[in-house]
Amino acid sequence: MRTALRSIGLAGAILGTLGVALSIGSTAVSLSATYHVLTYRTAALFGGAASLSPPDPVAARIVWDLRLPRVLLALLVGGGLSVVGVAMQALVRNPLAEPYILGISSGASAGASLFYLGLLPPLLGQMLSMPLAAFLGGLLSIAIVYVVAYTGTRLSVTRLLLAGVAMSALMASITSFITFSSPDPGKLRAVLFWLLGSLSGTQWGDLLPPLITTIAGTAFLFVLARPLDAMLIGEESAYHLGIPVERLKRALILLAALMTGTLVAVAGAIGFVGLIVPHAVRLLSGVAHRRVVPFSFVGGALFLTWADLAARTLLPEQELPVGILTAICGVPFFLALLRRGSYGFGAP
C-alpha cells in the first residue's frame, strides 16, 4: 500500500513538474495554456483534435517546439543517470560509485573536445558528429578499462575501479590539453559549457537515442532486480544462490557504457545525479532493487528537470550549465549523508 501511494505521488510530481517547467522561462506561459497546448497537440497526433479549440500559436511554439523537447530530455537524462548509478553501486558494492566511475564521461568529453575544436583527422571529422564523437570516446575508454580489469577467467572489481580512475585522469588530462591549446576562444567557451552539462538547443530529433537506451536500460535493470539484490551481499554468496556473477558483471558494464555514453553525448557530463538520487531513494524505500530502480528513475528525472529549470531562469538573460546546479545541490546533500554513520546498503 505504501509503495502504491509513493508511486501515485511520484506520478503526480512528474505531471506537476512538467507543467511548471514548460510554463516558466524568458516568456511566461500560464499553466492552463500550457496544458491546453499539450492536450491539443497530443490529440492531434492521434487524429482527435477536431473537437478541441486550437491553442494560441505563439504559446504552442514555445511550449511544444522549444521547451517540451528540452524538458523531456532532462527527464530522460536524469532518470538514466540515476539508474546507471544504481547499477554501478550494485556492481562494485560501493555507495560512492556513480555513472562516470569507469571513465566513460572523461572519454566522451575528450572525444567531443577533439571533434568540436577540429583536431580530428579531416576524413574522420567529416564522418562524425559531436554526439557520435563523444559516444565513441566513451566507448574507447570503457573498452580499455575492461581489457585491463579482465583477468581471463573473471572480471576483477578492484582492477575495474582502479583502471576507471586512471582512465578518467588520463582522458581529463587530454581534454584539458586540447582546450588549453585551442586557438579559438569562442569554440573553447562552447566546449567548456558543454563539458559542464547543458540541455540547451534540444530538438525533437535529439530524443530518440536517449529514449531508447534509457527506457530499455531501466527495464533491463528492473528485470535483474533479484540478481542485483544478491550482488549486494557479495559475489561468492550471489554465486552460491545461482546468480551467474561474471555474466551479470559484463552485462552491467555494457549497459553502463551504452547508457552513459549516449546520455553524455547529448547532454554533456552532468555530475551528482547518479550519485545522490539512488542514496535518497534508498533512504525512503529501502534497498530492494524492485523499488530502487523505478523510484531512482523518477527521482533523477525530477531532480534534473528542476535543476535545468533553475539553470535557465536563475540569471536574467543568461543560462548556466546545468552541471553547476546539480553540484551545488548535490554536494551538501552528499556531505550530510556521509555524516549518517548508520547509512549503508544493508540487506534487501
pLDDT digits (tens, 9 = 90+) for 115-129: 877 777 776 767 777
Q: Grid coordinates representing 157?
A: 572489481
Whether residue 347 is contained in a domain is answered as no
Note the pLDDT of residue 130.
Answer: 74
Averaged over 312-335, what is the pLDDT? 87
Note whether residue 98 is domain-resident: yes
Q: What is the pTM of this model?
A: 0.90
Confidence category of residue 290, pLDDT binned at 50, 70, 90: very high
CA 255/CA 268 separation, integer angstroms: 18
Task: For residue range 64-100, list pLDDT tens digits in order.
Answer: 999 999 999 999 999 999 999 999 999 888 777 888 8
What is the mean pLDDT of the segment spanning 101-114? 86
Q: Is residue 344 assigned to a domain? A: no
Per-residue confidence (pLDDT) for residue 257, from 0 to 100: 87
CATH code for the domain in which residue 287 is found = 1.10.3470.10
Calculate mean pLDDT across residues 320-332: 89
Say which residues have a Cβ less than 8 Å from residue 293's Cβ, sequence separation at least 6. 83, 86, 218, 221, 222, 225
> Among residues of the chain, what percentage have pLDDT more than 70?
95
> Reduced to 3 states, what is the DSSP secondary structure of residue 155?
strand
Phi-psi region of 307 (alpha: psi -120 to 50; beta: other; left: phi over 0): alpha
Higher pLDDT, 82 or 8: 82
Residue 75 lies in a domain: yes
| Across 123-145, average pLDDT | 82
**Within a domain: 317:** yes
Percent of the chain predicted with pLDDT > 90:
42
- 254 in a structural domain: yes
Q: Does any domain span residue 77?
A: yes
Question: Would residue 343 count as lying in a domain?
Answer: no
Q: Name the residue range of residue 52's domain.
A: 2-338
Which cell goes with 308? 535545468
Total domain count for the chain?
1
Give dist(CA 122, CA 115) in Å, integer: 10
At 148, which amino acid appears?
V
